[in-house]
Amino acid sequence: MFIDLHMHERTFSPDSHLRLAEIVRLSKEKGLDGICITDHDNMGLKEYAKAYSREQNFPIFVGIEYYSLEGDIVAFGLDRYPKKRVSAQGFIDLVKAQGGICFGAHPFRDNNRGLEEHLLRVNGLDGIEVLNGSTSYEACKKAEAYARYLKLTPVGSSDCHTTEKVGVFATYFPEQVKTMADFIRVFKEGNLQPAYYDGERYVKAINTNLPFKQSVIEYIYN
């Protein structure tokens, strides 16, 4: 199944223009099999999303994009999270203590919110976001090289805040996941692949060189 791992809903991410119903509708239209809501430093949508997921019979996993002192980290499986900024390692340790998973979000985006070289100094990340719909192609390629070097799972996400970005990137899961426990288990197994939407369907990207068609690159990044 294809899941978009990093999306923002406007209730708790003020920089987003998207309501959950709109995200779900657009995701279904593109052929996504599930989505993740990862609002900025907030998991307030969790109960509403759980109910809406049942209503729509569509998997919605709620995590968080946490702004650590060294940069953004997306995490799942948390019951609690820091209300103030802590170090990346401190946050990762908290995620691990709760049995969750986490990945470095857009590590080389040019807005000083990625982990950048801190990827080499932290321990415990489960993956690196190598495809991000709001990050340059070159920065994504650099993230992919770090994922290979560090032997961390490469993932893809839209990081959508607007309708046109919903589902531009996603991650392929090799089996169906319906619960957070299954989501975390399959993620930890590491057999995921980043994918992109080519205008008709989702295509798994080859991890070594991300072979996008030029038209797809222009569609996503323009």
- What pLDDT, on a 0 to 100 scale, did the predictor assign at position 206? 61
Over residues 139-154, mean pLDDT: 93
**Residue (of 68, 81, 78, 1) closest to 35 by Cα position:** 1
- Per-residue pLDDT at 205: 83
Q: Which two tokens stand for residue 99?
A: 């049995």
pLDDT at residue 11 greater than cutoff 60? yes
Q: What is the pLDDT confidence band of residue 184, given thresholds at 50, 70 and 90?
A: very high
Mean pLDDT for the stretch of residues 99-111: 97
Q: What is the dihedral of CA 189, 60, 16, 125, to 10 degrees?
A: -20
* pLDDT value of residue 124: 98
Determine the Cα–Cα distance for residues 221 and 115; give it in Å rounded to an integer.
22
**CA 21, 26, 32 angle in degrees (round to 5)?**
110
Q: In what order do the strands lie in the sheet with 101-104?
A: 64-67, 72-76, 101-104, 127-132, 153-157
For residue 123, what are the domain limits?
2-221
Q: Which two tokens stand for residue 87?
A: 């170090």
Of 132, 192, 197, nearest to 160 (Cα)? Answer: 132
Count structural domains, the chain. Answer: 1
Residue 99 has pLDDT above 50, yes or no: yes
pLDDT surpasses 50 at 215:
no
CATH of the domain at 132: 3.20.20.140
Which SS3 state, helix, strand or coil, does residue 52 take?
A: helix
Read off the pTM.
0.93
Residue 137 banded pLDDT, cuts 50, 70, 90: confident
Distance CA 28, CA 166 (A): 10
